[in-house]
């Protein structure tokens, strides 16, 4: 198999490529990443406590609260994002600020790899296109895996191209291994889906065939999977059982047409499960539908300009990373496709920069009109993204404020550490500094406290069952004392049940 436009192995970059990609004085990418960080600090970070999944991840490294149950589909790498902050504080604002800065640096690092391949302007524009999506801004300051998979995937594809273009130099191979290992560490299945097209490219493209890049990809994958595999045997009974448990929790992994659900959730909700919402307005999802079309156009332009490889590889990786979320699970979330968005931003940016160059060389009337239209559409796109971001922030803040209000009310009801808050309580239990007892089919596991475990825990610590309005307490707590919860932001009917005499 021959990839048109694929460079011969060890072919050095031309002077034009070097001028475009290696200058350290080009500030455009740095300015984009600074803007990305500042927008997060101004819009997305302030005033938000930890969301449901975040509280699970952060509790694993927070010495001030019991660790929440860690289910089979999760990967421990995400917890490392919050570990430096957890050494000093559990303040959500400190976590948000740290992650906003860290994600800005990661955006720079990922797309800086591409400056040698596509030029500084194109790399900066790709980072801008990706970093200004509402979902990228929403998750930059959150402890969630998908954005960090996106950064690793962009860097991995770039390092592989550098390794086959300039030769398998040590720094490229190390970067390739780390860029595959990190996504695997934060989300093991995504790491596998990323490694597959990278390995296939090394094997199938004759001019790319080399043991060392393949070994770097395999080494990164193995290193990233090591903890996941060890935990599979330590907690779940082996790899097969962990995969089975993950499938059950995910609602059954198998062939599933999930493209419609992905479109329904493109502008929110943050988790569409079950995805029974209607399709969003066309204006809100026009960017989502246009992205693959623009990416294909970018492929065509890249082929005509002799840069096929630098456009094809990110598109192939984007498709591979989208497969499980579009065709193997029955629900959707906007964050699931973040890696694909990041990778597809590269050929789209190449298309736009090529158009700008064409206008500069021959500023004909129709070209100037097309450029003006493109600028207007881009400004409109960013306006839509900011509106969607604002809507999601308001919704998310309402949810986490409700969790926080419940946690404070639980404390006023006399449930204080050391304590166990039973029921569907995460992250309310985390905010109250209690252990949690998950009682949903989504997180069933032998390590989750059973009713017998809850009753046993009541002998030596404070135990309470959180009950929402209109619901009865579980059978084992029907004789317990009911304590109504009240406070700002709480509706009537919330209560905790505690053993009598406690």
pLDDT at 445: 44
Lowest mean pLDDT, pick from 4-13, 130-139, 488-497: 4-13
DSSP lists the bridge partners of residue 276 as none
pLDDT at 456: 80
Encoded tokens for 83? 């570990």
Q: Tens digits of per-residue pLDDT, 255-272?
A: 989 999 999 999 989 999
DSSP string, 67-127: PPP--TT--THHHHHHHHHHTT---HHHHHHHHHHHHHHHHHHHHHTTHHHH-HHHHHHHH
Does the pLDDT at position 11 exceed 80? Answer: no
Look up tokens 């069952």; give the residue: 465
pLDDT: which is higher, 372 or 3:
372
Q: What is the mean pLDDT of the chain?
A: 90
Encoded tokens for 252? 């059954």
Cβ neighbour number for residue 366 with a 10 Å cutoff: 7
Q: Tens digits of per-residue pLDDT, 346-360?
A: 999 999 999 999 899
Q: What is d(CA 230, CA 133) in angstroms, rounded to the nearest whole number?
A: 36
Q: Tens digits of per-residue pLDDT, 151-191?
A: 999 999 999 999 999 999 999 999 999 999 999 999 999 99
Contact call for residues 343 and 153 (beta carbons, < 8 A): yes
Contact call for residues 389 and 396 (beta carbons, < 8 A): no
For residue 192, CA distances in Å to 11, 321, 490 come to 29, 9, 44
pLDDT, average across residues 68-88? 95
pLDDT band at 500 (very low <50, low <70, confident <90, very high): confident
pLDDT band at 449 (very low <50, low <70, confident <90, very high): low
**For the chain, which residues make up each domain, given as ranges?**
253-361, 397-498
pLDDT at 206: 92
pLDDT at 3: 52
pLDDT at 441: 36
pLDDT at 121: 95
Q: Tens digits of per-residue pLDDT, 334-346?
A: 999 999 999 999 9
């Amino acid at each position: 198999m021959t990839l048109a436009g694929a460079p011969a192995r060890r072919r050095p970059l031309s002077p034009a490529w070097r001028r475009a990609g290696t200058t350290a004085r080009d500030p455009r990418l740095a300015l984009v990443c600074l803007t990305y960080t500042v927008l997060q600090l101004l819009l997305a970070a302030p005033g938000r406590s930890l969301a449901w999944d975040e509280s699970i991840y952060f509790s694993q490294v927070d010495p001030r609260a019991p660790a929440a149950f860690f289910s089979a589909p999760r990967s421990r790498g995400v917890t490392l994002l919050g570990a430096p902050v957890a050494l000093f504080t559990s303040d959500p604002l400190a976590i948000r600020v740290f992650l906003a800065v860290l994600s800005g640096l990661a955006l720079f690092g990922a797309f800086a790899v591409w400056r040698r391949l596509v030029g500084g302007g194109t790399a900066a524009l790709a980072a801008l296109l990706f970093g200004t999506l509402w979902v990228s801004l929403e998750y930059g300051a959150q402890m969630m895996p998908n954005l960090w998979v996106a950064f690793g995937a962009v860097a991995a594809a770039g390092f592989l191209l550098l390794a086959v273009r300039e030769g398998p130099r040590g720094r490229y191979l190390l970067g390739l291994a780390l860029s595959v290992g990190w996504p695997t560490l934060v989300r093991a299945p995504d790491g596998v889906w990323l490694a597959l097209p990278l390995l296939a490219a090394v094997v199938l493209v004759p001019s790319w065939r080399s043991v060392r890049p393949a070994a770097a990809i395999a080494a990164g994958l193995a290193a990233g999977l090591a903890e996941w595999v060890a935990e599979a045997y330590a907690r779940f009974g082996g790899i097969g059982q962990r995969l089975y448990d993950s499938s059950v929790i995910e609602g059954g992994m198998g062939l599933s047409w999930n493209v419609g659900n992905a479109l329904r959730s493109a502008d929110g909700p943050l988790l569409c499960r079950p995805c029974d919402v209607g399709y969003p307005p066309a204006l809100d999802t026009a960017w989502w539908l246009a992205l693959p079309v623009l990416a294909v156009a970018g492929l065509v332009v890249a082929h005509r300009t002799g840069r096929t490889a630098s456009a094809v590889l990110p598109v192939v990786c984007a498709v591979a990373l989208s497969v499980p979320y579009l065709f193997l699970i029955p629900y959707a979330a906007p964050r699931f496709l973040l890696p694909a968005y990041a990778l597809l931003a590269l050929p789209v940016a190449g298309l736009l920069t090529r158009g700008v160059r064409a206008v500069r060389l021959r500023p004909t009337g129709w070209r100037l009109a097309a450029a003006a239209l493109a600028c207007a559409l881009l400004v409109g796109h960013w306006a839509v993204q900011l509106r969607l971001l604002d809507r999601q922030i308001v919704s998310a803040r309402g949810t986490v404020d409700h969790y926080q209000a419940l946690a404070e009310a639980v404390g006023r009801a006399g449930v204080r550490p050391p304590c166990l808050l039973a029921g569907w309580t995460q992250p309310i239990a985390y905010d109250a500094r209690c252990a949690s007892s998950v009682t949903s089919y989504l997180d069933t596991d032998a390590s989750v406290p059973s009713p017998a475990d809850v009753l046993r825990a009541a002998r030596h610590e404070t135990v309470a069952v959180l009950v929402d309005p209109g619901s009865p307490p579980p059978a084992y707590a029907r004789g317990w004392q009911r304590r109504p919860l009240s406070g700002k932001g709480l509706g009537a009917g919330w209560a905790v049940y505690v053993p009598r005499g406690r």
